Structure 1
Amino acid sequence: MNQSRPSLRSPVARSTPKAGRENSRDALLDAASALMRELDTVEIGIVDIATRAGVNHAMIRYFFGSKEGLLFALLDRDVYRRIHQLERLFALEVTPTERMRIHLRGILDTYYQIPYLNRLIQVMVREAGPDRVRHIAEELLQPIANAQARIIDAGVAAGEFRAVDPKLFYFNTVGAADGLYSNRFTLSAVFGGKPFADPELHERYRDHTVDTLMRGLLL
């Protein structure tokens, strides 16, 4: 298997045009996200992030205080976007079964788009202070888990779902969504050298996973 891990020099060399001050903050967040996806790691350096963004690395301290602050802001941005999608999901006039299918598809899409998510959460929780850990738990993770529990409760009440433990089902969901996208070595070994999940494989896996999870819910 000749899928060697790319060096930091490879993606960094493809730097974007120098960003103006008004959009340098977003450029840094986008650069950190792109590097973590391409290199399959959350261990990225500030110089590499800044070079990819096309700005001086001092801008990281200016906008975020530190690399940890930048990663925390990235986590906030990634997860809040999905929380806002949940608000639109509950505005739909659909059955609990259809709402859950849409929700599960959205989670699979999230991990396909940001496969570093769980690893970034673990690093942040391990290295952040208590206030930030509390923020991650209460503002980022619990709303998603609570939304899923709300859908399950509605499905049980409507006679569409069997009674399941919402917390265990949440871990089933996250584990299934994270598994294919966050471990390129296993993906490559199982799929004959495939270096990452392309759109075709993602669609197949999403449909398979949603169908499997729904079979555990539906009466």
Structure 2
Amino acid sequence: MSIEAGKRVEKGAIRDALLDAASALMREQDTVEIGILDIAARASVNHGMIRYYFGSKEGMLLALLDRDVMHAIHQLEALFQLDVTPTERMRIHLSGIVDTYYRIPYLNRLIQAMVRDATPERVHHIAEELLKPIAGAQQRIIEEGIAKGEFRAVDPKLFYFNTIGSADGLYSNRFTLSAVFGGIPEANEALHERYRAQTVETLLAGLLR
């Protein structure tokens, strides 16, 4: 391996380590308000590496948001290659959305933080490149289902908010889960599987004719 290739590998490893560290801290601390010193310490690098690789903490968080959401978008691209009914496609899609919020419970809070007082360019990027593809894919499934007589007519925009609100609800409400429902500190795998099954079936019930 050449010296330059080695540098590229190292750079990618440090960059990924910083993103992984920020993600882990936001999950553990249940907040997007995390410090650069904590991020760097978790990644075992000097905090100056954040500025070096991302320009700023905000640049790093935007890169994390890109990585998190693009993973979901790539899954959607694969979903439309499947030869399945609209109902089954929607079931897979809804399951994937709930899985995403279980894996990334800070997602909605991070989006809000990234668009608050942001430049028009950043807002445009988040809306057009990250959020609209997901909302558009869901609308496409709904329209396919209506055309084939499997779904009743619903407003795709409102159903999108139904979906995101349901998917986000359990994982972003640790206090309610802990204080009201038996002292569970956060959703574990078993609870997540139960919640995913109930949420998907509840949302589908509002679609099916």
Q: TM class by shorter-chain length? A: over 0.9
Which structure 2 residues correspond to residues 106-125 of structure 1 after superposition, within 5 A? 106-125=96-115
Residue in 2 that maps onto 1:215: 205
Q: Which of 15, 27, 32 pairs up with 2:17?
A: 27
1:92 matches 2:92: no
CA RMSD of aligned residues (A): 1.0
The one-letter code sitting in structure 2 at the alignment partner of 1:42 is V
- 1:68-122 Cα offsets, whole Å, 9 max, x none, are 0000000000000110000000000000000000000000000000000000000
Q: Tell me which residue corresponds to 1:195.
A: 185
Instruction: Determine the structure 2 residue equivalent to 1:76.
Output: 66
1:144 corresponds to which of 134, 140, 152: 134
User: Deviation of residue 20 (structure 1)?
Assistant: 4.5
Offset at residue 190 of structure 1 (A): 2.8
Instruction: Choose which of 99, 109, 123 in structure 2 pairs with 1:133.
Output: 123
The aligned counterpart of 1:11 is: none
Q: Between the two proteins, what is the percent identity of the paired residues?
A: 76
> Distance between the aligned counterparts of 1:40 and 1:127, measured in 2?
22
Equivalent runs, 1:58-73 vs 2, <5 Å: 58-73=48-63
Shift of 1:22: 4.1
Q: Is 2:195 aligned against 1:205?
A: yes
**Residue in 2 aligned with 1:57?**
47
* Distance in structure 2 (CA, Å) of the matches to 1:154 and 1:140: 22
Superposed displacement of residue 198, structure 1? 0.2
Q: Deviations over 1:2-58 (max 9, x none)?
A: xxxxxxxxxxxxxxxxx9444100000000000000000000000000000010000
Q: Does 1:177 align with 2:167?
A: yes
TM-score (norm 1): 0.90
The count of corresponding residues between Structure 1 and Structure 2 is 201
Separation in 2, partners of 1:110, 1:22: 24
Matched position secondary structure for 1:43: coil
Q: Secondary structure at the match of 1:167?
A: helix
Picking from 27, 37, 55, the partner of 2:27 is 37
My pick for the range that moved more, 144-153 or 184-193, is 184-193
Q: Secondary structure at the match of 2:53?
A: helix
Separation in structure 2 between the aligned mates of residue 171 and residue 22 of structure 1, nearest angstrom: 35
Partner residue, 1:9? none
Give how far 1:191 is off.
1.9
Q: Where has structure 1 moved over 6 Å in runs of 4 or more?
A: none
Instruction: Give the deviation of 1:189 after TM superposition.
Output: 2.1
The offset of 1:187, in angstroms, is 1.1
Q: Which runs of 5+ in 2 are unaligned?
A: 1-8
Q: Return the alpha-carbon distance in structure 2 between the equivalents of residues 113 and 127 of structure 1.
A: 27
CA distance in 2, matches of 1:22, 1:150: 36
The alignment's TM-score, normalised by the length of structure 2, stands at 0.94
Counterpart in 1 of 2:147? Answer: 157
Q: Which runs of 5+ in 1 are unaligned?
A: 1-18
